Amino acid sequence: MHIMEGFLPLYWAVIWWIVALPCLIFGIYQLKKVLEADREALPLLGVTGGFIFILSSLKLPSVTGSCSHPTGTGLSAVCFGPWITSVVCAIVLLFQALFLAHGGLSVLGANIVSMGIIGPLAGYIVYRSLRDTRVNMYLTVFLACALADLFTYVTTSLELALAYPAEVGGIVSSFVLFMGIFAVTQIPLAIVEGVVLALVFKYIVSLKPDILLRLKVFPEEKIRVARSEA
């Protein structure tokens, strides 16, 4: 779920923008470097962006009335790292606000922080810590994608709780309440998303492994082994 226009008070909207901006600037710097080194990455970045757009527009109405959706950011975090992903996400979120009236402009900063920065960062940390171990490659991608999705929702709940703390128990109890509402739909969704993206990754490994090697996503050996098994 994206926080929608007008939901956050002005000062929280500004604070999240201030948090998001340095990450975006660093992302743009990295993006420039990647594209200078390898122009072939541009179509892949475009397609991942398009996929994030479409996956996160699949709004599934949840029991509680709010809506949940997959985020699709994990795959991009694995391939390009969290900072470039934040730039891709910022563009996607802007498009969603303007194409589908999904999200908003003043709250764009807050949405970038949850879906573009914290989520992918969580996924990336999982991926980096498992990459060079003997854990199965697809399991790594599954965990990275599922956690990127989950952490997006944890961050969104935190953003909502900070803006609207409860009278009794303050931020903690409103955080628990917002989390509880999302958990019903989001935990199964995160698992499904992880499975789907891991299968997409399997497609990439079997059909176009060269780009994964050039971006050094996984060690060559692992990819070769996975290909020979398939």
Of residues 108 through 137, those in contact with other proteins by CB under 8 A are none
- What character string, x for contact with other proteins (CB under 8 A) and - otherwise, covers 20-49? --------x--xx--x---xx-xxxxxx-x
Q: Give the nearest distance from C-beta 115 to other proteins in angstroms.
A: 15
| Residue whose CB is less far from other proteins, 38 or 132 | 38
What residues have CB less than 8 Å from 130, skipping those under 6 apart? 139, 140, 143, 144
**Interface with other proteins, residue 141, by CB under 8 A:** no
Among 99, 129, 136, 227, binds other proteins (CB under 8 A): 99
3-state secondary structure of 207: helix
Which positions from 180 through 199 interact with other proteins, judged by CB under 8 A? 181, 192, 195-197, 199
Stretch that binds other proteins, among 104-112, 131-139, 148-156, 215-223 (CB under 8 A): 104-112
Distances (CA, A) of 81 to 127, 176, 203: 10, 30, 20
Residues from 47 through 66 that contact other proteins (CB under 8 A): 47, 49-51, 53-54, 57, 59, 61, 64-66
Q: 13 or 122: whose CB is closer to other proteins?
A: 13
Total residues in contact with other proteins, by rule CB under 8 A:
72
Strand 67-68, strand 60-61: pairing: antiparallel
Phi-psi region of 40 (alpha: psi -120 to 50; beta: other; left: phi over 0): alpha
Q: Which of residues 203-222 bind other proteins (CB under 8 A)?
A: 203-204, 207-208
The token pair at 211 is 């780009």
Give 196's contacts (C-beta < 8 A, 6+ positions apart). Answer: 70
Short-list 47, 117, 41, CA closest to 77 = 117
Within residues 63-82, the interface with other proteins by CB under 8 A covers 64-67
User: SS3 string of 55-84?
Assistant: HCCCCEECCCCCEECCCCHHHHHHHHCHHH
Closest separation in Å from C-beta 127 to other proteins? 18
Q: How far is the CB of 192 from other proteins (least distance, A)?
A: 7
Sign of the dihedral through C-alpha 172, 173, 178, 181: positive
Q: Which two tokens stand for residue 155?
A: 């961050």
Residue 13 touching other proteins (CB under 8 A) = yes
Residues 142-181 that bind other proteins (CB under 8 A): 160, 164-169, 172-174, 176-178, 181
Of 125 and 166, nearer to other proteins (C-beta) is 166
User: Tokens 């950011």 — which residue?
Assistant: 73
18 binds other proteins (CB under 8 A): no
